[in-house]
Amino acid sequence: MDPASPTPHHRHLSSLEGTIYFSPGPALETGKRARAKQQFYGIIDHFQGSDKSRNSQYNRTLLVRLTYKYTRSEESQEIFLRAFFQAMSLSIDGEDDVDLEDTEEDLRLALSCFADYLLDNFFLPLRASFHKTPQPSPQIHSAVRQAQGGGVQDFVGTPDQVASLQGDCLLHNRYQYVISRRFDAEEANKHLMMHGDKAKDENGNLLVAGPRFSRLEVAHILPHSLTKTGNNSQLHPSKKAVLDILNMFNNRVIHLIKGTDINRLRNVITLTQSLHSWFGNFDIYFKPVLDQEHTYRIQSFLHPMVTPDLPVVHKLHFTKSRTIKPPSQCLLTLHHAISHILHLSTAAGYITKILNGMEWKDTRTDESTKLGRIVALKFGGWSEAVHT
């Protein structure tokens, strides 16, 4: 049995949930940090080499490896290593080599549990929280909700804030879809009704000579519901766990999305309706182009026939007054990292099956594990994402 195979380890995993901390500790000396890194890869390589996970839920060993790889700074990597060694019941600054023979089965189980901890407490709920950003008609929808006393608060921020966000986002992208440069269909209709064949886009190009129009939507880079509080105005512990691990990747992130800041322009981008869903599922990502400010290579994990406009290199704009800035490179880079971890470890497909409530053809252990994860999502404040 390898660390990527399903194992009935819920009791051990439960104990991990109460003891793993993704927070900074005293900085390791250079030599000890290098040794901890060497020990980490020694353990990972040992089990990755015997990985037989083709029929498994997802590749646990690779998920752990990739999570470490995509942590952004030396401090972030050290935080991850502390959590890893704690989960493995090993000393991070120990001088002795890890005994991979006498303790192999214990390490195998601990590694599997640690991967499941990351899946259950970060990747699964983060992916589950990616409902499409609400698309209110800026004036009318906001007025109706105010007349109803505010309506149902299904996202962070007031209707006015989200409507304003939508308008500002379209403005800073010049009413264009950031991938194919198609102009927003609603704005095009306004221009054409007013100016006819002489109507131009925000760059001065004739609309009749441009590409087809598309209905554009505002998409959050990190999900807008991630910082949504409960009835007691407090974040659920499950969301706090996601934010703790998110902050491990880059300790600047929390300051960018704290509270209603998650609805600022640095965390949104304009996409078509279909690509909005794929972006939220981490199927499409933006990879920064080196030495070119606000320029990205936009790619996907989808079949090329589904996304004929990709890959493409695109520079995101400022408004002419430079009062509205492009989306945050920090947040787009983090989205890119999560996309790769999910897809390369095959966790993306496994999570999709959970969220879609699909029937399993595996063992009863798989079925009970899946059911347990669905129940955990519902009690953790992510119930709207689970289709059962």
Answer yes or no: are the C-beta atoms of 16 and 114 closer than 8 Å.
yes
User: Residue 160 has what pLDDT?
Assistant: 46
CB 257 within 8 A of CB 226: yes
- If you write DSSP's letter for every residue of 108-169 in order, what string do you get? HHHHHHHHHHHIIIIIHHHHHT-PPPP---TTHHHHHHHHTTT----SSS-HHHHHHHHHHH
Q: Is the Cβ–Cβ distance between 86 and 100 less than 8 Å?
A: no
Q: How is the chain split into domains, by residue range? A: 10-128, 140-344
**What is the rounded CA–CA span in Å between residue 87 and residue 39?**
14
Residues 101, 99: Cα–Cα separation, whole Å: 6
CA distance 93 to 37: 11
| Phi/psi at 271 (5° precision) | -140, 165
Q: For residue range 44-86, what is the model confidence (pLDDT) as tens digits? A: 999 986 655 555 689 999 999 999 999 988 889 999 999 999 9
Contact 268, 133 (CB under 8 A): yes
For the chain, report the end-to-end CA distance as a whole number of angstroms.
31
Q: What is the pLDDT of residues 166-214, one digit of tens each?
A: 555 555 455 554 555 566 666 766 767 777 787 766 667 776 766 666 6
Q: Which of 144-153, 156-165, 216-225, 307-316 has the lowest mean pLDDT?
A: 144-153
**pTM, entire model:** 0.78
Find residue 268's DSSP bridge partners: 220
Half-sphere exposure of 381 (CA within 13 A, CB side): 21
Dist CA 52 CA 37 (whole Å): 25
